[in-house]
């Protein structure tokens, strides 16, 4: 249930087509997380600090596409979530 609510929220922020495309690019997300952990951390923390949907949508619009894909997959794709855990990226 929580997973579906999170997916619905991300679809509202990023748009349903983009979230679906992002989930189809989990391998790219994992590469981004592995090769650019500082950029990924900055993207996650920047997104997490926002409370309102309109702020989150504006932030998502300015976020680099690869980092958006990594963020979405880190939250919704199980293998990507496992990678985040393995790398000790506890801030997500």
Residues 40-70 pLDDT 10s: 999 999 999 988 989 999 999 999 999 999 9
Residue 74 inside a domain? The answer is yes
Residue 23 inside a domain? The answer is yes
Residue 48 inside a domain? The answer is yes
Residue 91 inside a domain? The answer is no
Residue 92 inside a domain? The answer is no
For residue 71, the enclosing domain spans: 2-86
Residue 80 inside a domain? The answer is yes
| pLDDT at residue 5 tops 70 | yes
Question: How far is the C-alpha of 56 from the C-alpha of 85, rounded, in Å?
Answer: 24
Residue 58 inside a domain? The answer is yes
- Number of separate domains in the chain: 1
DSSP state of 64: -
| pLDDT at residue 1 tops 60 | no
Question: How far is the C-alpha of 79 from the C-alpha of 27, rounded, in Å?
Answer: 9
Question: How far is the C-alpha of 24 from the C-alpha of 43, rounded, in Å?
Answer: 20
Report the candidate in 58, 61, 56, 86 with the shortest Cα–Cα distance to residue 74: 86
Report the candidate in 37, 35, 39, 47 with the shortest Cα–Cα distance to residue 75: 47
- pTM, entire model: 0.91
Residue 78 inside a domain? The answer is yes
């Amino acid at each position: 249930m929580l997973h579906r609510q999170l997916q619905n929220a991300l679809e509202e922020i990023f748009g349903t087509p983009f979230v679906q495309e992002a989930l189809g690019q989990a391998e790219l997300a994992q590469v981004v997380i592995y090769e650019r952990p500082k950029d990924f951390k900055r993207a996650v923390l920047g997104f997490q600090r926002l409370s309102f949907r309109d702020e989150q949508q504006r932030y998502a619009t300015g976020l680099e596409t690869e980092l958006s894909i990594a963020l979405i997959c880190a939250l919704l794709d199980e293998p990507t979530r496992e990678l985040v855990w393995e790398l000790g990226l506890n801030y997500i």
